[in-house]
Structure 1
Amino acid sequence: MKVFEIGEHTINTKEILERIEYKESDIIFLSGSLIEGIGNSKSDLDVFILTDSFNSYRETEYEKKHRKTEFFLINELQCDVEIWDITAIYSILQQLDSINLSDTKLRTANSLNYENINIESIFSFFHRFIMGQPLINFKGFNDLLNSLNKDNYFTLLNRWNVNIIDLMYEDIVGNMKKGEYETAYIILNTAMIKSLLSYLSYKGVSTDRDKWAYINMKNLSIIDPETKTILEEFQKLFFEREDFQKIEENCKKRIKFINKLIRKYKL
């Protein structure tokens, strides 16, 4: 059995497989921040099971039409298990591959949808799948991964984050016009993170959570000079102590930074 060094934990495949219900034909993989090498001692391990026997899987703590979730501990490591109906995954992958990205009427929020699985859940699954490490059925895992249209995935992820920023922009401008610069500044904190996410997707770096945007930018900046320059500008705007009396000016600087990223690095 394969042994995984996961953060501070050593776990072998057998320990995980003994705790779940599966068939040899199922696709089972580990994912999450610990597998990506960006997690910490409090992070969970994500276990995914893609199966064509979804309806007969045992009862779990949380159940939706195409996804079930259960939890267990291994050597004090919290494991979150997601069981997916592989039929749903096949359908979503087909949708992703067939999207016409040149269609100007296409709304990103509606571009991927399978029986009430929202686009955030789809992006999160794709991210974890791309970053995953298979436990069994390596061929099935790799065949399915190779069928994922990564160009379309990163384009949609890029556009999704830009769309979120566009929605925030109305609140930012509205509050600035009202003189509520503090509120605009707070909203801009989130918008700046979203601009990093849009940039990372442009660079082909999958990131599904706001909290990991900065560390992924740091990691990319080590090998990419362009990212290093952008990160330094972000750090100056986001972390350095600023004069409260210049909050209107600082809001405008942040807007300028965001606009540069989402316009220059838009897919």
Structure 2
Amino acid sequence: MDQLAPSRDRLTGTGRKVAGLYTNVATAYVCGSLVEGFGNSQSDLDVFVLTDGPSRRREDEGTSATFTGDEYRIDIDFADEVRVDTECWDIAQVRDVARRINNCSVGDWTAPAHLESQWFQLAHGIRIGWAVREESVFEELRTSFDWGHVSHLLYCRYMLSYTGASEDTVGAISAGDAGTAMLNSRQALGFATDALLAAAGSTNIKPKWRFAKLRQLGMTEEFERYFAAEAGGQGTDDDVLLASKDRLRLASDFTLAAAALVGRL
């Protein structure tokens, strides 16, 4: 984490202050890149407020912006000089998300693809979060998820995406389409890297943290190979096509390594 990033005490204090603005709070917690150790002094803080039934934010405390989804609401503002994204869910909906994820089969690789990405992001936040209200309720919620199963589901999702991207890359290389091969090979390698991370137990679904996640899991060699593959391929069309082939080879190596790990989840 950036040395200028806020401390845990400051983050939980801010989260506690923000959660106090809402009614009917069942539990609340902070999460996101600052909590996970990936963020920096410019990162925002994610505060999740889980409520028992309808909730409102106290009228004397305005927000700079509000967004409403099918299952949640997000209020965006600043507190203690940190930008705060406050996501509000009914706790019954969150428990239902845990049930749906836990009951999803890994026997059919297409089944996990039908689960909402937002659910996995919600689950990951619970896994890494720090409670700021009603810690016992939060811990009960965290233990309701089967985290090995969550990682296995993500592995299945990424492998399905990898298969499609790698097939598209092979087609582009065969056609001599350097630009398309470059883009698709990067997608294929990205999904293969995600599959490897999931097989190693990661539940963070954000691709922007791939390098940070590899470092966090101690995958130094994989980090270096992935970085070199992403950075390479400048020059002529032949250079780009060659780099695209190299990415596919590395992606294949990563998926083989992932397949060897996933059975341990």
Give TM class, smaller chain. 0.7 to 0.9
User: What residue number does 1:7 align with?
Assistant: 5
Q: Counterparts of 1:56 and 1:254 in 2: how far apart (Å)?
A: 49
TM-score scaled by length of structure 2: 0.84
The structure-2 alpha-carbon separation of the partners of 1:15 and 1:182, relative to structure 1 and needing over 3 Å to count, comes to: same
Q: Does 1:92 align with 2:97?
A: yes
The structure-2 alpha-carbon separation of the partners of 1:100 and 1:238, relative to structure 1 and needing over 3 Å to count, comes to: closer
1:106 positional shift: 4.9
> Counterparts of 1:52-131 in structure 2 under 5 Å?
52-53=52-53, 55-58=54-57, 61-102=66-107, 104=108, 106-110=110-114, 112=115, 119-131=116-128
1:48 positional shift: 0.3
One-letter amino acid of the structure 1 residue matched with residue 113 of structure 2: A
- Matched-pair identity in %: 21
1:71 positional shift: 1.5
Q: Counterparts of 1:143 and 1:124 in 2: how far apart (Å)?
A: 18
Q: Counterparts of 1:238 and 1:75 in 2: how far apart (Å)?
A: 38
Q: Per-residue displacement from partner, 1:19-46 (whole Å, max 9, x unpaired)?
A: x20335x110000001111111221100
**Unpaired segments ≥5 residues, structure 2:** 60-64
1:265 equivalent among 254, 258, 264? 258
1:67 positional shift: 0.6
1:164 positional shift: 1.6
User: What residue number does 2:212 align with?
Assistant: 215
> Counterparts of 1:168-183 in structure 2 under 5 Å?
168-183=165-180
1:240 positional shift: 4.5
Bigger Cα displacement from structure 2, 7-16 vs 190-199:
7-16
Task: Describe the SS at the equivalent of 2:168.
Answer: helix
Task: Describe the SS at the equivalent of 2:87.
Answer: strand
Contact 2:109–2:156 (8 Å) recurs in 1:
no
Q: Per-residue displacement from partner, 1:211-254 (whole Å, max 9, x unpaired)?
A: 10111112322xxxxx2222222233222565534332221111
**Unpaired segments ≥5 residues, structure 1:** 113-118, 222-226
- Please provide the CA RMSD for this pair: 2.4
The structure-2 alpha-carbon separation of the partners of 1:64 and 1:250, relative to structure 1 and needing over 3 Å to count, comes to: closer
Q: Does 1:37 align with 2:37?
A: yes
Q: Counterparts of 1:17 and 1:89 in 2: how far apart (Å)?
A: 17
Equivalent residues, number: 247
One-letter amino acid of the structure 2 residue matched with residue 123 of structure 1: F
TM-score scaled by length of structure 1: 0.83
Task: Describe the SS at the equivalent of 1:265.
Answer: helix
